[in-house]
Structure 1
């Protein structure tokens, strides 16, 4: 908790000062304190590098907290927005919006993305509840992957038919390099509400993660907590997808790392997930920019390179058991 903020500041500083074009520290400082619209270097800093650096911090924090909440309330160590159809539902609804109601304002796009996240989660958990033992970790992950793939494929087919594939590709392959300050400022309140809800529910999530019987015995209103917690997940995930597109595995990997560091109390897990998630995605962004410099590697490739082996490790080491 002490080291992470220092590293976040360092990584953010590096992200802003280094890029395809060399810009002096003096020019960077002047772009912040004495912005000149006619100066192309000032435009690069204010319109691209600063929004991008802030966006990856926010999205990393949002997705990490969303994953931590999902793993806590479902007691499923494989739960995450990317595996439970939440990301795909959001991207699917955005695809429909781009095709059928183009020209939407930023806040409308964010609201639709949030609605899509809710739809994706409802489909996965709905199907899981209909299938025998469908809410077990591995089976729920399989159901989430199948539904997510279906929504993604359907969105691709719709985009190809209406010839908007290039526009939609940005949402599925991430569009961090196109983040603008207006969209970022519009997204922040939605994400902030999600984080506040997560912090408010932290103690209740800890109790819920101990099991249904224990939570009920302690007077916990488990259904109310699940609905409120999932609303936080939907806000955080929908905001993230609307802002930068789909990014996988952040919500899967970070909560496990955080639990290893601070234990099982979600009053510690959630604030720590905010910091570690922000740091993790910022580092991934730096790696994606310099892995094949001066060309940029999609950040999803970097997160998948870390997340897929971690996912396989969890399945092999934990089997089909729920976490305590």
Structure 2
């Protein structure tokens, strides 16, 4: 990444209230940077803290959540001050597409109503101008007959079309950074490829920065310039797409990659990661991945590993780096 980041998450921690009145640490010391016009991938299994980290930037954390660290957007602090920093950029400069477009879009409101309400608020324009912008954006994301689509409701569109509408709605106010949370979940392979092409085209046409959140490293390989891999609330590997996806050094990142289907199942059987990720607030001592790691040593059970460089622009949180010889 060249130059100062557009979005910088620094030493972020997030704790959530528990049913017994205690607190659980869900995100621990996370650092993420996204440059102008850059697509950054954030990968990991469910519960790793990916979406929570993004919601912190938007000021949309669950009630009772407490945070530490800093989130900076173009030099402006977003956390603290009663959430005023995030509220000032949310929807206008910083927008988000949520995982399920059927629940993200209100079923009782027309597409046009949902797309223009925040335009009128954020851009201080009249309804007619908001309609014009919304129609143009629907056309840009390849919605057929966009003027007619404005009067229709979400259930009248396919899953892929709903996701395109959600992207159009998020981009209508002209944000500089889009957070896309699992934008291809539950879509078939052909529709998924179309959504990924759309995001890449919008990045190029609009000079848009994108934080792409997913559990699927295959999605990362199609889009991301740089990749962060999270496990149990921490970043365990970060680097360029080529470094992390072609030669991952952390056993967890390697495991995620090996779990992807490669060719014929007979010739390339799936290698599932053993065990399950830990629950929030019940992270094992030391490296949280050690109960599932075939390379785990005594040091892994005792100490939380720091994220340290292993090559230029490539860092891992693993004290023994067991895959170095294999991937070098």
* TM-score, with length taken from structure 1: 0.26
* TM-score, with length taken from structure 2: 0.25
Instruction: Decide which structure has greater strand share.
Output: 2
Instruction: Decide which structure has greater helix share.
Output: 1
Higher RCO (CA-CA < 8 Å; seq separation 6+): 1
